[in-house]
Amino acid sequence: MAKPVQLTWLTGAQAIRLHDAGLRPPRGPFAYALVCDVRDPALAALANLALTDADLADERAPSASARTHFRARRSLLRALAAAALGVSPTSVRIAYDSDGAPRVDGLPAFVSVSSRGPLAALAVASSPLGIDLEPFDASAEPVDAVLHPREQAMLAELVSTARARAFLRIWTAKEAYLKALGRGFKRDPATIAATCEAAQFSIDDGGPAPLPVATFAPTMGLGDLIVACAVTA
């Protein structure tokens, strides 16, 4: 059964400052997330690591700016995983599994990535995890095809901006969960149900207990973002 593990949010440049200050991973399970603009000057040193041929082979970006963002994301992801593991970023190699999920080759860490232009949500943990980032869009209409009937019923009771925000929060929570499973949209998102009580989200996937999902609204001048992270154990 999936169980939650400790989740520590490190936002913006804080992750890097803590690393520079000698942050070492705890002995127990770890989970870190970095939500940032990859162009942030505070991150420049870690966003410009020399990439390997394997990193560059993963680049599928269609435009020059998208390639620049991919390279910075990949560099930061390796740096974040290295910080969590207490190893050099040069020893962290990222690969993809057959379903497209990123993984760390040969080291005991799991990673997940989400991005929108230069904005990135990167996560590393000692258990499989998923992260998703969506900019808030007040005009977002619920898409019934991706929603569980219980979610559709809940959203039908809301109007306008509240409905748009609730839909996007549900959507990020579900996408984070599906990434944690390593399946992405190969799994039908309508078959799982997100519920929200107070600030806490959970996902019901038919198992004995729902899995908690952390949802997070960064407040460091990155705009109105919704971020969700699911960690399994």
Ligand X SMILES: CC(C)(COP(=O)(O)OP(=O)(O)OC[C@H]1O[C@@H](n2cnc3c(N)ncnc32)[C@H](O)[C@@H]1OP(=O)(O)O)[C@@H](O)C(=O)NCCC(=O)NCCS
Site of interaction with ligand X (CB under 6 A): 70, 73, 99-102, 112-115, 130, 132, 175, 179, 182-186
Q: How far is the CB of 132 from ligand X (least distance, A)?
A: 5
Q: Compare residues 23 and 107 and give the one whose CB is closer to ligand X.
A: 107
Beta bridge partners of 32: 8, 124
Q: How far is the CB of 159 from ligand X (least distance, A)?
A: 26
Q: Compare residues 56 and 153 and give the one whose CB is closer to ligand X.
A: 56
Distance CA 107, CA 109 (A): 6
Q: How far is the CB of 25 from ligand X (least distance, A)?
A: 22
Q: How far is the CB of 27 from ligand X (least distance, A)?
A: 27
Orientation of helix 149-156 relative to helix 160-181, angle to 10°: 160
Q: How far is the CB of 128 from ligand X (least distance, A)?
A: 9
Burial of residue 233, with CB atoms counted within 10 A of its CB: 0-12 exposed, 13-18 middle, 19 or more buried: middle
Q: Compare residues 99 and 137 and give the one whose CB is closer to ligand X.
A: 99
Q: How far is the CB of 70 from ligand X (least distance, A)?
A: 6
Q: Compare residues 23 and 146 and give the one whose CB is closer to ligand X.
A: 146
Spell out where the chain has E strands: 8-9, 31-37, 94-96, 102-104, 110-116, 119-125, 129-135, 193-197, 200-204, 211-216, 225-231
What is the DSSP secondary-structure string of 40-88?
-GGGHHHH-PPPPHHHHHT---SSHHHHHHHHHHHHHHHHHHHHHHTS-
Collect all residues with Cβ–Cβ distance below 8 Å to 141 and sequence separation of at least 6: 164, 167
Give the nearest residue (CB) to ligand X: 184
Q: Compare residues 1 and 145 and give the one whose CB is closer to ligand X.
A: 145
Q: Which run of H or E residues covers position 149?
A: helix 149-156
Q: Compare residues 86 and 100 and give the one whose CB is closer to ligand X.
A: 100
